[in-house]
Amino acid sequence: MHRQSIKRPQRNIRAANLALWICTALLPVAAAAQQMKIVGYFTEDGAASGTYLVKDVASSGAASMLATLNYAFGRVSNGRCEIDDTDAALRHTYKASESVDGIADLSSNGLRGTFLQLQKLKLQHPNLKVVISLGGWGGSSGFSQAAEPAQVETFVRSCVQTFILGRFAPGIDAPGIFDGIDIDWEYPVAGGPTAGRPEDKQRFTAMVAEFRRQLDAVRPGLLLTAALPARPEDYRHFELSKLSPYLDQISIMAYDLHWSTEPLTNFHSAMFHLPGDPSQPPLDRRYGDQAVQAFLAAGIPPGKLLLGIPFYGKAWQGVGPANHGLYQAGKPGNEDSGTYRLLKALPPSADRQFDAQAASCSVLYRSNFWTYDCPQAMRVKRKYIRQQNLGGAMFWELSQDTPDLELLRSLAGQEKQKSPDPKTEAPDTKTNQP
């Protein structure tokens, strides 16, 4: 069909072409923004204590910035998946003022607790995925038994039935609350608080494959993710090259790389290695970029990798003022004081530093030293994620941010615009930059 030619003023044509050029130029930026997923952990402990509720995820605005909410944690015990705190998850009755939708829970035998609040959260944010995370640092002791060849199929089935099919307890069936499973086994072989076994390396892969098989049998599209360590001595116990086909996302836990049990203070979540770092092998290889490049070299597509970021710090005490407290002798400090919201509240006299090369921060106050990630570090790491074409970021955890979500907004690129400060603006973050 021939179209009739319509004459328009030339200036309108030029304006239209300019508008088309601008839109085309902005497409890569918009695509990058859409592709960067942010995954945040929500802890059952915070809900149980009342210090951070599911309602806070909604009312703070966090839910609109998250692609996935990881609920921590489900328990692995006696070769089965279990709800860790059934009172908090299923039975607690929330008042109207505590509820996501402002409606009080009914005092009945039906679903209540945080799981009902998650259900309400998803109704308000239908694009938000909610995933049950299994294990954690203090809850991984049951994995080695559960992953035994004779046990693994039954174990995975119990996880799928409990959390995906929603068979939470007798008389409480609520499928659809969880959109997938996150495996946080810390760690196969080497162990974390609990020793592992040499065969765990291959059994982790087989367990992940079984999770993929059973999840796909329920419904294709259910998420299967894992949080893996960033320290070389730990991730060498995973068959990285074999995991990618089964997992939708792999979060690299690029934090806790240095602990306050070490005699010298150090960044616990540095993105790059600093020339002045006095760490000796293997501690000298504990930085985020090292882990990302190792995972990429193993053949994992960058789009499946998430950079893990802490919303908390590591603490030393008895630290002197030299070098603002960095690389100085100290003893383990009060770790509970290291959440970002508490560090933000320290008085103006605190010695705050941002190291653009490490892409991390520190603060020294009354001989107490904390290493943590501040908003400037979030901006550097967001830029790194885009330069490396990674899938996005994961962080631990929501309650440790300030009430106005300073860290999450910085990570998501939604902070309030202000004039750039040449003293704190981050440099270009190319791979292997010192």
Structure tokens at 185: 């086994």
Domain encompassing residue 84: 31-311+373-412
Q: Which of 98, 186, 210, 397 is catalytic?
A: 186
Please report whether residue 335 resides in a domain.
Answer: no
Query: 335 exposed, middle or buried (CB, 10 Å; 0-12, 13-18, 19+)?
Result: middle
* Pure H helices in 97-182: 113-124, 143-146, 152-159
Q: Is the pLDDT of residue 434 over 70?
A: no
Question: Is residue 51 assigned to a domain?
Answer: yes
Backbone angles phi and psi of 331, in degrees to 5? -115, 160
* From 9-13, 165-169, 397-401, the region with the lowest mean pLDDT: 9-13
- Maximum CA pair distance of the chain? 83
354, part of any domain: no
Domain CATH code at residue 43: 3.20.20.80
Within 10 angstroms of residue 232's Cβ, the number of other Cβ atoms is 14
- AA identity, residue 337: S
Residue 15 pLDDT > 50: no
Q: How far is the C-alpha of 307 from the C-alpha of 139, rounded, in Å?
A: 22
The size of the chain, in residues, is: 434
For residue 1, pLDDT over 90 is answered with no
Domain assignment of residue 209, yes or no: yes
Please say if the pLDDT value at position 367 is more than 90: yes
* E-only strand ranges, 94-202: 129-135, 167-169, 172-173, 180-184
Decide if 339 is inside a domain: no
The arithmetic mean of pLDDT across residues 400-427, rounded, is 75
Condensed to tens digits (0 to 9), the pLDDT of residues 229-286 reads 999 999 999 999 999 999 999 999 999 999 999 999 999 999 999 999 999 999 999 9
Is the model's pTM score more than 0.85? Answer: yes
pLDDT of residue 106: 87
pLDDT (tens digit per residue) in 141-192: 999 999 999 999 999 999 999 999 999 999 999 999 999 999 999 999 998 8
Alpha-carbon radius of gyration of the chain: 23
Domain count, the chain: 1
The answer to whether residue 341 sits within a structural domain is no
Q: Residue 329 pLDDT more than 60? A: yes
Q: Among this protein's residues, is 186 annotated catalytic?
A: yes
Q: For the chain, first and last CA: distance in Å? A: 62
> Which residues are CB-contacts of 383 (< 8 A; sequence separation ≥ 6)?
426, 428, 429
How many CA atoms lie within 13 Å of 358's alpha carbon, on the beta-carbon side? 27
Does residue 364 belong to any structural domain of this protein? no
Q: Is residue 291 part of a domain?
A: yes
